[in-house]
Structure 1
Amino acid sequence: MNKLELNIRHRTVSILDKYFTGESIDYKKIFAVILPIFVDQAFLILMSLLNTAMISSAGVAAVSAVSMVDSLNIFLANVFIAVATGGTVMVAQYKGSGNSAMVSKTATQAISACTIFSVLISALVIIFHTPILNMLFGKADADVFQNARIYLIGSCLSYPLIAIFQAVIGSLRGVGETKPCLNLSLLMNLTNTILNVLLITIFKMGVEGLVISTILARVLGMVASLIYVLKYNESIRFRFKNALHLDLSILKKVMFIGLPFAAEQIFFNGGKLLTQTFIVQLGTLSMTVYAIGNAIMMLYQIGPNSLGIAIVTIVGQCVGRRNIEDARKFIFSLIGLSSISFVFAGLLLLPLFPLLIKLFNPPDEIVPTIFTLILISAIAQPILWSPSFIMPSALRAAGDSNFTSIASLLSMWLLRVVLGYILGITLGFGIIGVWVAMIVEWGARGIIFGWRFKGKKWYAHKLV
């Protein structure tokens, strides 16, 4: 190694020590948490992009139906993912405080709670699927509506499978074991993609093929995750007999974090769904623009989304040790890293737009509108997205769940929904007006959470 290489290495280590090392945890452990999550998120989003591109071969009606129902799926799935997040926060804080017995008990109870919530949600949506679809998408074309019905019922059948998987993954992330999370996620999502290629591209089964591949992949993911925590993991020590016995004292703490977050997700994604109903009024092409724009924008968010997930473990463990100085330092550092990630993504992906758009085979007349949406996002995300989404994850990891949920709900409904309607429908700016309202809402959220972070109340909750 020559002198220049040694100098570069020394400066890199010095920067990493300055921003990512504290008394609680050093930069090596932080990046050991982040990197598997990054690979996982990259794979998930690339596969989602590929799946959207594959389903586009079944026509605009199929793309629109899948996009609409996926918004509803996210809305519903986030209820049990929120409960899993409550488990992640509690597990991380118990891990930080050194209480291994409570790590195991809390993880087990979180898995049980997620299972119960997901079964209830799945049953209710299957029973009432027709009025739900009529309420949300009644103005959609008949072929879009029929595809949406098939996809919604199939998705509901898979909710308990993905809920158990997410609860196991959340608990493993809480103790900082992100490598097995990556392996389990790769197994499930690779299976899903291979089955999609087989059923959608080769056998031309359209939305029915998407449903079958989703259910089979999630069965495999659930079984593999349970086998791992039953036989191969020492931190969680999951046992079925313990899962069948609900411990109300532990569940109460998990729900203290999980329920406000679940309520936030219900209303936050409910606002997104309401926004979708504006877009339905604008026609099938506008729905397709929105679906493709969101799919491409997710590529820009691979790094920042990873940091938003990792920060729960990192800040949770710092707060479990009551080291608030470290927690503050890492929150600043990870938000900065997120903004840098957006800049790199923009420089890399904007020139590739002509290639990316070919994946979706959209009608030529909507391509300029899609590019406009992506350009607006690429400019706004480095400044506004990171404090808007990474900061609340950090506050929630410290136990500040009520404030973050209320603030998110108010900003969503007052800005993204109301302003979206005014700009998109009333003033006639269409899909671009709806998109701009979303950007404005990011800015407002960032200001609110930044103000909260300056004070002391966000870390005043003693959960462990």
Structure 2
Amino acid sequence: MTFQQNFTQQYNKPGGMRELLYLALPMIISTSCDGIMTFTDRLFLARVSPEQMNASLGGGVSLQVIMFFFVGLIGYSTALVAQYFGANERANSAKTSFQAMLLALVAWPFLVAFIPFADGIFRWANIPEAQIDYQVQYLSILAWGSVFGLLRYALGCYFTGIGKTKVVMRATIVAMVVNVVLDYILIFGKFGFPAMEIRGAAIATITGSFCAVCVLLVSYFGAENRREFHIRESFHFSSKIMKKLLYYGYPAGLEMFLNFLAFSAMISLFHGRGEVAATASTIMFNWDLVSFIPLLGIEIAVTSLVGRYMGAGRPQVAHRAALSAIKTGLFYSVVILALFVAIPETLTRTFAPAVPSSIFEQAVPIATTMIRIAALYVLLEALMTAIVGALRGAGDTHFTMIASVSAHWIFVPILYLSLNVFHLSVTLSWFLLVLFFFAFCYVLYRRFRSGKWKKIKVIEKEVAMER
């Protein structure tokens, strides 16, 4: 058999790259649209002032610290919906989706309750004074509108779990268009609207999420989906399914919460070194986010595909799907690596403010070096997202939580010691974090190779009795 014949055969097999790409490409487009929304917020705000750009990163991440426990919890519904779908338990797929929507509604008051504490926390974290008020405004508006983002995510997990990722893609494109257009109008004050600056960016984000929810609900209540998945009968609390969602989902939620808490702490440590360091690290993290978000599309797709085949009792096909995700991610990451190495200063100057700023000019060489350093680990990010997606899809959420949380909370003291005890430069401190990321990825790789995840049983056939 020739190489081309062998590649074609592997490409077309169940769990091969063709099946993965069918699910992944719409999700890559979807997550890229989310990245464009975040990127546009910060790009437009950079034209206003570096302080407002930095505040959008700090405020957004701070809210995500609280929000992402529920996002991780809700996010496991993708794997659970997919496992029921693979086991031909379609009514239970819809019931799982409704439990996820209930969790979204429960989460919202917790996010709003965080608003009164934001100012004190930012001051305690030594955020630059010129940035704090903007950061509080941005976080407050996003928190009030977060219910739409949570419901959008819950509905998106359902459609991803049943393999209809194009529905998610359409909703996200609508959200992106609405968000970008309103960013331009509200941030800068166009077409008769007042210039709302950072408040306009937050309102645009919320409005985009609301529009996406509307698009998803139209498909959710469509005649075909209602009939095939027994949607009308799904609107009730299911203790058995909720227990599964909580048991397998809480590690993912706790992982995301603790990881983003660590990430927020790392951002605060960088920002605590002054406005130049804050601007440089914000620019670098913006480009890191842009490069990383499409990989999340691959992670979501492989979670769905692995969950489906594990639910169908075909772990070897699930393994093949994970390998397909790794290959796809590596192809993408090679392109990002080339850009980060070749044109880092061009990428940095994309965020140049409209009015010349000495802070920005001082930050340019630092951000340029940090982007070059980020090129060292983009290939490892592809490996990490594919393996994490596969492990979560199979139900191995407890291990991924322990490994990931341990790694991130090792990063925080390393960065603190580097910046505040040994007084190393921002770029050298960032380089140390990248080196430790290698060790974390190796731990995940060893777990995947062990095959223990293939033996996990998340659903049992007696769940069919709930119909």
TM-score using structure 1 length: 0.90
Q: Which residue of 2 aligns with 1:435?
A: 430
- The residue identity in structure 1 corresponding to 2:172 is S
% identical equivalent positions: 20
Contact 1:84–1:171 (CA under 8 A) maintained in structure 2: no
Bigger shift: residues 353-362 or 397-406:
353-362
CA gap 1:344/1:53 in 2 versus in 1, 3 angstroms: same
Would the aligned equivalents of 1:86 and 1:256 in 2 still touch at CA under 8 Å?
Answer: no
- Extract unaligned runs of 5+ from structure 2: 354-359, 460-467
Residue 126 (structure 1) aligned with residue 110 (structure 2):
no
Q: 2: distance between equivalents of 1:275 and 1:406?
A: 19
- Give, in angstroms, the shift of residue 125 of structure 1: 0.9
> Hey, what's the Cα distance between the residues in 1 that align with 2:231 and 2:147?
18
User: Corresponding residue for 1:17?
Assistant: 9
1:175/1:355 Cα in 2 relative to 1: closer, same or farther (>3 Å)?
A: same
State which of 346, 350, 355 in structure 2 corresponds to 1:359: 350
CA distance in 1, matches of 2:211, 2:230: 21
How far has the Cα of 1:232 moved from its partner?
A: 5.1
Residue by residue over 1:312-331, the C-alpha shift from the partner in whole angstroms, topping out at 9 and shown as x without a partner, is: 01111121122121222222
**Whole-Å separation in 1 of the counterparts to 2:103 and 2:68:** 14
C-alpha distance after superposition, 1:33-76 (max 9, x if no partner):
01111222222223322221101122111111111111112222
Query: Could you say which residue in structure 2 is the equivalent of 1:311?
Result: 302
**2:412 matched residue in structure 1:** 417
- Write the distance in 1 (CA, Å) between the matches of 2:230 and 2:123: 45
2:464 aligned partner: none
CA shift, 1:335, in A, is 1.4
Is residue 2:26 matched to residue 1:33?
Answer: no
1:385–1:443: 8 Å Cα contact kept in structure 2?
no
In the alignment, is the contact (CA less than 8 A) between 1:16 and 1:27 conserved in 2? no
Matches within 5 A, 1:108-187: 108-117=98-107, 119-136=108-125, 139-187=126-174
> Which residue of the other structure, out of 48, 54, 68, is the alignment partner of 1:78?
68
Once the 2 structures are TM-superposed, how far is the Cα of residue 237 of structure 1 from its aligned partner? Answer: 5.0
Q: 2:51 aligns with which of 61, 65, 73?
A: 61
Q: How does 1:205-224 map to 2 (within 5 A)?
A: 205-224=196-215
Aligned residues: 446
The more displaced of 94-103 and 215-224 is 215-224
What is the CA–CA distance in structure 2 between the aligned matches of 1:224 and 1:311, rounded to whole Å? Answer: 24
> Displacement of 1:148 after TM fit?
0.9
Distance 2:324 2:276 in 1: 41
State whether residues 407 and 448 of structure 1, in contact with CA within 8 Å, keep that contact through their aligned partners in structure 2: yes
Distance 2:3 2:36 in 1: 33
User: CA shift at 1:280, angstroms?
Assistant: 2.8
Aligned to 1:7: none
Report the 3-state secondary structure (helix = DSSP H, G, I; strand = E; otherwise coil) of the residue aligned with 1:42.
helix
TM-fit CA distance, 1:242: 4.3
The CA distance in 1 between the partners of 2:187 and 2:64, in whole Å, is 22
- The equivalent of 1:4 in structure 2 is none
* Aligned residue identity for 1:122: L
Residue in 2 that maps onto 1:368: 365
User: Whole-Å Cα distance in 2 between the matches of residues 374 and 354 of structure 1?
Assistant: 9
Task: Determine helix, strand or coil for the equivalent of 2:222.
Answer: helix
**1:421–1:129 distance in 2 versus 1, CA, 3 Å:** closer
State the match for 1:258 in structure 2.
249
Structure 2-normalised TM-score? Answer: 0.89
The reply on whether 1:460 has 2:451 as its aligned counterpart is: no
Matched, 1:92 2:85: no
Change (3 A) 1:220 1:300: closer
The alpha-carbon deviation at position 222 of structure 1 amounts to 2.1
Q: Distance in 1 between matches of 2:8 and 2:102?
A: 39
Query: For residues 16 and 182 of structure 1, what CA distance do their matches in structure 2 show?
Result: 27
Superposition RMSD on alpha carbons, in Å?
2.2
Query: Per-residue CA shift, 1:145-168, capped at 9, x if unaligned?
Result: 110111111010111110000000
2:374 maps to 1:385: no
Q: Whole-Å Cα distance in 1 between the matches of residues 224 and 121 of structure 2?
A: 41
Amino acid at match of 2:134: N
Which secondary structure does the structure 1 equivalent of 2:109 belong to? helix
Q: Does 1:397 align with 2:386?
A: no
Q: Structure 1, unaligned stretches of length 5 or more?
A: 1-9
